[in-house]
Structure 1
Amino acid sequence: MGVAICSAGLALLEWTVPSLSCMSSPPNTASHPPLRLSLSMWALAAAAYLAGFFLRVTPGVLNAPLMRDFHLNAAQLGNLASFYFYFYAASQIPTGVANDRWGPKKLIVFGTFLTAMGTLLFAMAPTYAVALLARGMIGLGHGVAWVSLLEIAARWFAPRVFGTMSGLSLGAGTLGAVLAQAPLLAMSRWWGWRESLAGVGLVCLLLALLAWRVIRNSPHELGFRDYLPERVPSSLGQVLRGLRDVWGWRNTALLFVAPSGICGAFLTFTTLWGTPFLEQHRGMSGPQASWMIAAMLVAFSVGGMAWGRFSDRLHRRKLPYVVGGGMTLAGFALLSLWPQAPGVLLFGVLLASALGAGAMVVGFAWAKESVPQHLAGTATGVHNTGVMIGALVQLPLLGWVLDALWTGRALGGVRQYDEHAFQVAFGVLMVWVAVALACVLAARETHARPYANLVPARTEGAV
């Protein structure tokens, strides 16, 4: 948890000497905050996001001890992993509303504290039911992190660097997922998986305490000039009307489905089912499989930044998304149709598939540009929910498929699934990605410009 440690040290310094960031020049409402102060706010929020991302992917690395200790089959393990996504997805739209009303600080403190409690509960869970509850708490707690982190970046940094800070924020999350691969596997073997996760829970508690002490919603709270004007929070009625109205534009539904396949399949593979496949049918050791998954996570992060920049420069949304989605489809087609492909080919295609899945970030801008400006925030929340829908359905669905095709073989109390079972399971993902790609092709191109036509989809005609 390198970023967490670094940000914790920086925040502790701020706590010990609260005025340190302002010593070079006194607070002045005519000036924006110094970079060091802005970075301290962002670093703590990014550390909380990193910790939650770490916990998101732990079931894949710990699949064998979890199946053994809780006596799970594949469907139950998939459900355990997906409980995180159930609560994460449910929190997205309320988080946007809460950020407008209360600001990001309270959400980061609450979310990180809830994540810590869920992690500690999971580490001590005596039964499968308690473990499910704990995963739900982690998902709900981390569900507020991304939107709140972007809100911190928007409020504490100049608009011209918001894209850069968004990329760095995504990179922080990816680092958390990478640390949850081989490093977590090594920790679990040295100290045990329960003890390792308990340590992560304590780190989250420290982060929540530091966030409460250090983070401020806006620069003006410390006497500096804000980058953003004050916003009037939306009423509950306005939010509900926005949720109803946003579905009147065709792209909303199409771009809701698209990431559920293109990103959802990637999340399902890297969160849970990729590791056992690589170990059982590609002859990889646990650390080797973990590093392969880590490489895919890095490729996804790099792809997100590259596709986003390419889309902006090209002034096109559809083309980058289609190309990236096609790369992802090729990866899952190979897993389903030729799982014993030569190692260099398979692993190269998997990395390319992960790189292509990063094109899903284009969908956030595309969704906002597909509706009138007053619905842009709602469209973003709906789109982010679609990102998670795929994983929360696919994780247990693939487990059910694997159990249905299980031949009865087990090793050390852990079920072993033959190659055919994995082929069928990955075939489900292949079909889902293909449907998602068709939705991208059917969506209206916005040419990277806000949507000016206010006529809903039912009367706008085919495009």
Structure 2
Amino acid sequence: MTSKRYASPLLGWIMWGLVAHLYLVGFFQRVAPAVMVDELMADFQIGAAVLGNLSAAYFYAYAAMQIPSGMLADAIGPRRLSTYAALIASLGIFAFALSPYLWLAYLGRFMIGASVAVAFVACMKLAGHWFPTNRFATITGVALLMGNLGGILAGIPLSEAIALFGWRSSMVVSGFVTLVGAMLIWVVVRDDPSERGYASFAYAAQLDGKKLSARESLQRVVKQRDTWLLFFAGGLSAAPLLVFAGLWGVPYLTQIYGMERSQAAGLTSTMLLAWAIGGPSLGAISDRFRRRKLPYLAANVSAALLWGLFLFADIPQPLLYPLFAAMGFASGGLIVGFAFAREANHPAVAGTVGGVVNMSILGFAALLQPLLGFVLDRHWDGTLLGGTPSYSADAYFFAFLWLFSCVLLSVLALIPVTETRCDMSTEEL
């Protein structure tokens, strides 16, 4: 029998946190190649364009799985979905770490991306059941914080681990951590508080048996104009940060500024840490003032200005730290976009809309990573450093110009979006 009493916030955070752990793992695997560029190029005898594709195999799979992930979250629930995903992710990590062949490394990265793709959507779905609606942007921001902790672990800690034990052994350890996480999710997590005897925060439309088919859910989401505007706003604002911090930032800082790899990784981790702080901070501001559009637009305008400063100004090395921190913080406005898109659609399609919007972020990153590698190779002057290509400042300028352009376009995408004032859509099923 279900009680009218809500579960304690602590229990909700435990349930949610175990699923969010998979998001942390996913973020770790997403940016890990940035600190093993030289090792990957040497082990597989590849250049920048191929390396970009190897890293982006994760993004291709992640983006392709977003819509199916949303529909699966609605259909089978976040507990089962996250458990299966963590198991597959661990297998993919082992395949990547132990692969003697490039094709198997590609397969491993693809498996990792496809499986961890469910994490963020599952977190959003679970939050709708265990927490009230007016805390959704804040909780989604904490998810970004969890993810970025994974990104930070893939910075200096992973760099040092690689120096001591090698990249393959370091990746194997992360595979075992993911496997343990799968077991904990299955044993502890429940999709709805009613399964523990508590009242649920889910909307009645989600619990009264009126379920849409996967096709109907997707149709409702894609017919909503604001879904597409927020799709482009999110992807175009976040992908540049993921591409820079996740792959090309470390080689840029080592080759152009002459930094050691650990120092460069620390600098890109600063960007990720600020992004982790910016997400929940901007989400909380949005929740507090019951506004979505203004804080999101202000954050994206700020990010565009900062990327322009980075690209067109001669920034001394000590000032890169506050600049990267400001860029990361402003990019956290992305979190408001998830709550924004959820409220613009019916509560019954929360998982599907989360998948559609999240697809843009990794989808654009998947396109940008090899694109930047292609631009770098086209402007390469033939210089080798330790047997791997070294690129000039001009080559990086032309590559990073694409990142700046994306953030500008994200601002334009947000302007026509209709404000929701933090209220869920009340349209009929």
Tell me the TM-score normalized by structure 2: 0.90
After superposition, what is the alpha-carbon deviation per residue over 1:347-398, rounded to whole angstroms, capped at 9, x for unaligned? Answer: 3222211111111112123223444666665433322212222101101110
Aligned length: 425
Task: Out of 188-197 and 283-292, give the one that drifted further.
Answer: 283-292
Tell me which residue corresponds to 1:232: 209
Matches of 1:33 and 1:245, distance apart in 2 = 32
TM-fit CA distance, 1:251: 2.3
SS in 2 for 1:126: coil
After superposition, what is the alpha-carbon deviation per residue over 1:399-433, rounded to whole angstroms, capped at 9, x for unaligned? Answer: 11001111111122221111100000011111122
SS in 2 for 1:57: helix
SS in 2 for 1:149: helix
1:270 aligns with 2:245: yes
Tell me which residue corresponds to 2:293: 318
1:78 aligns with 2:49: no
Letter paired with 1:325: N
TM-fit CA distance, 1:267: 0.9
Tell me which residue corresponds to 1:113: 87
Matches of 1:162 and 1:436, distance apart in 2 = 23
Which of residues 325, 337, 359 is equivalent to 1:385? 359
The two structures, once aligned, show a CA RMSD in angstroms of: 2.6
Tell me which residue corresponds to 1:440: 414
After superposition, what is the alpha-carbon deviation per residue over 1:301-332, rounded to whole angstroms, capped at 9, x for unaligned? Answer: 21112222333344443332232112222233
Tell me which residue corresponds to 1:286: 261
Where in structure 2 are the equivalents of 1:300-449 lying within 5 Å? 300-338=275-313, 340-371=314-345, 378-449=352-423
Contact 2:48-2:374 within 8 A present in 1 as well: yes
Letter paired with 2:105: A
TM-fit CA distance, 1:95: 1.9
TM-fit CA distance, 1:283: 2.1
Structure 2 segments unaligned to the other structure (5+ residues): none
After superposition, what is the alpha-carbon deviation per residue over 1:40-90, rounded to whole angstroms, capped at 9, x for unaligned? Answer: 433322322222221111011111111111112111111111111111122
Letter paired with 1:414: T
SS in 2 for 1:442: coil
Letter paired with 2:107: L
SS in 2 for 1:41: helix
Matches of 2:424 and 2:286, distance apart in 1 = 15
Task: Out of 171-180 and 327-336, give the one that drifted further.
Answer: 327-336
Matches of 2:342 and 2:216, distance apart in 1 = 17
Contact 1:258-1:436 within 8 A present in 2 as well: yes
Matches of 2:290 and 2:75, distance apart in 1 = 34
Tell me the TM-score normalized by structure 1: 0.84
TM-fit CA distance, 1:271: 0.6
- Give % identity: 36
SS in 1 for 2:333: helix
Matches of 1:324 and 1:305, distance apart in 2 = 13
Structure 1 segments unaligned to the other structure (5+ residues): 1-26, 455-463
Matches of 1:225 and 1:372, distance apart in 2 = 21
The structure-2 alpha-carbon separation of the partners of 1:76 and 1:150, relative to structure 1 and needing over 3 Å to count, comes to same
The structure-2 alpha-carbon separation of the partners of 1:99 and 1:254, relative to structure 1 and needing over 3 Å to count, comes to closer
Matches of 1:450 and 1:36, distance apart in 2 = 25
Matches of 1:322 and 1:29, distance apart in 2 = 41
TM-fit CA distance, 1:274: 0.7
Question: Whose RCO is larger (CA < 8 A, sep 6+)?
Answer: 2
TM-fit CA distance, 1:209: 2.1
Which of residues 271, 276, 290 is equivalent to 1:296? 271
Tell me which residue corresponds to 1:22: none
The structure-2 alpha-carbon separation of the partners of 1:361 and 1:160, relative to structure 1 and needing over 3 Å to count, comes to closer
Matches of 2:220 and 2:139, distance apart in 1 = 31
Rg bigger for which structure?
A: 1
